[in-house]
Structure formats: C-alpha cells, structure tokens
Chain A
C-alpha cells in the first residue's frame, strides 16, 4: 500500500539555525498539506498545495516559514531561523484531488529546537 514519505524523521537543531523537511506524497495525489502538531494538541494546518500552487497559507508564519512544491510532486517546508517554540511534529498529508476528501498522513518529522 502506497504511503506518504517524510524525511528526516527526527531533527535536533539550535535556535536561529535553518531547518528543512521533505515530503513525498502518494503517487498521483494532487493535493498536499503541511501540518504542525504540538505535543498534546491536534494537527494545525500550515499550508495546502494544489499541484504546484498554494491554495491556503493563511496560518503559515511567513516571516520564518516557507514551503514549495515546484514540480507539483514532492514538497519542502523550511524554517529560518528556528525558534524554541517551533519544537513540534511536522506532518505532511496528501489527497487525490480537492473533491476527494480523505487525507493520508506521513510519519512526520519531530523537530526539537534547543
């Protein structure tokens, strides 16, 4: 069964450093989502792509976060500079198209900022 892939699985960095996370959605899935999940809370949507275009980035802290999906397949989420409050699990999800609702999640990247 196809799954969403993410790397790295764990990342430890010092504050003010730059970090990047990678996501490869299920093949053929046009819609890709990045979520942040703080321990003990539900996932919070950061950005949603439809193919290579951003559909919704209203909750993305754009002063330090950026996301791209240049060829409409895999995606990268970057944080620069990282802050202590960015420590969280970063989850990627994909779905076949906007009209098909099910989102499939990747294993996540757990970020610790020291």
Chain B
C-alpha cells in the first residue's frame, strides 16, 4: 500500500518569511495529493490539492509542487502570518481511494 512520509515534523518561522513542507510517497499509482490544515481541536481543512497531470498549483500565498519522477510534493507558504500557525498534513491517494496521510508538520509563525 501507499506510504507517505512528511518532514519536518516541526517548523518555526518569523512572520513574513516563507515556509516549505515536503512529502514523499511510495505508490506510483497515486494521482491525487491534497494538503490539509488542522488547528488545535478543529477539523482538518483542505487548503490546496494537486493532481498528477500538473506540476504546480498556486492559490494566493499557497503553492504546491509535484515531482512524479521523484515521488515527492511540497507545500510552499509565502509571507507567513501568525494565523498560518497550525498542523499541516499531506496526503496521497489513487482516485480518492485509500487516502494515506503524512504524520503532520507543526508550523509556528512568530510575530
């Protein structure tokens, strides 16, 4: 089955700096890669996703890149703000089946 590894486990940045979180996956059949943000005690919220037919997707300050050959994808947050502080999870699945999540990255943005 799919195995998703995520790093770093914790990340601390100054407000205004960029943050990058990286994930690798094992199953070459995986074709959907979402990123979720989870604030303390709240539900995971989808922030951006990418499918295997594109290499990059951007939504305002958030971007995701995908390298299918190397089987890794990354989340980039620019101009970080304190409200970006949360745990971020990457995930991978094949046609929305058997979604596997990474262990999460706790991002802290210092004002």
A residues neighboring B (CB under 8 Å): 4, 31, 33, 40-45, 48, 55-56, 91, 95, 98-108
Do B42 and A31 touch (CB < 8 A)? no
Bound form: Cα–Cα A98–B101 in Å: 18
Chain A residues whose C-beta falls within 8 Å of the C-beta of B103 in the assembled complex: 40-42
The B interface, classified by DSSP as helix, strand, loop or mixed, is strand
Per-position 1/0 for B77-101, Cβ under 8 A of A: 0000000000001010101111111
The dominant DSSP class at the A interface is: loop
| A102-B46 contact in complex given A42-B89, A43-B89, A95-B96, C-beta closer than 8 Å | yes
Interface pair B97/A48, CB less than 8 Å apart: yes
The answer to whether B99 touches A108, judged by C-beta atoms less than 8 angstroms apart, is no
Q: Provide the residues of chain A in CB contact with B46, threshold 8 Å.
A: 102-104
B104 touching A45 by the CB < 8 A rule?
no
Which residues of chain B come closer than 8 Å to A105, judged between CB atoms?
A: 36, 43-45
In the complex, what residues of A have CB within 8 A of residue B91's CB?
Answer: 42
Kindly report which residue of chain B lies nearest to residue A107, judged by CB atoms.
B43
CB < 8 Å neighbour of B104 from A31, A41, A48, A95: A41
The one of B96, B100, B102, B104 that contacts A103, using a Cβ cutoff of 8 Å: B96
A-B contacts, 15 of them at CB < 8 A, read A41-B103, A42-B6, A43-B44, A45-B99, A48-B98, A95-B96, A98-B95, A98-B96, A99-B95, A99-B96, A101-B49, A101-B51, A102-B34, A103-B34, A105-B36
* C-alpha spacing A26/B46, complex, angstroms: 15
Q: Flag B14-57 by CB within 8 Å of A: 1 or 0 each.
A: 00000000000000000010101000001111100101000000
Q: Do the beta carbons of A101 and B43 come within 8 Å of each other?
A: no
In the bound complex, residues from chain B placing their C-beta under 8 Å from that of A101 are 32, 34, 49, 51, 93, 95-96
Given contacts A102-B49, A107-B43, A45 and B100 within 8 Å (CB-CB): yes
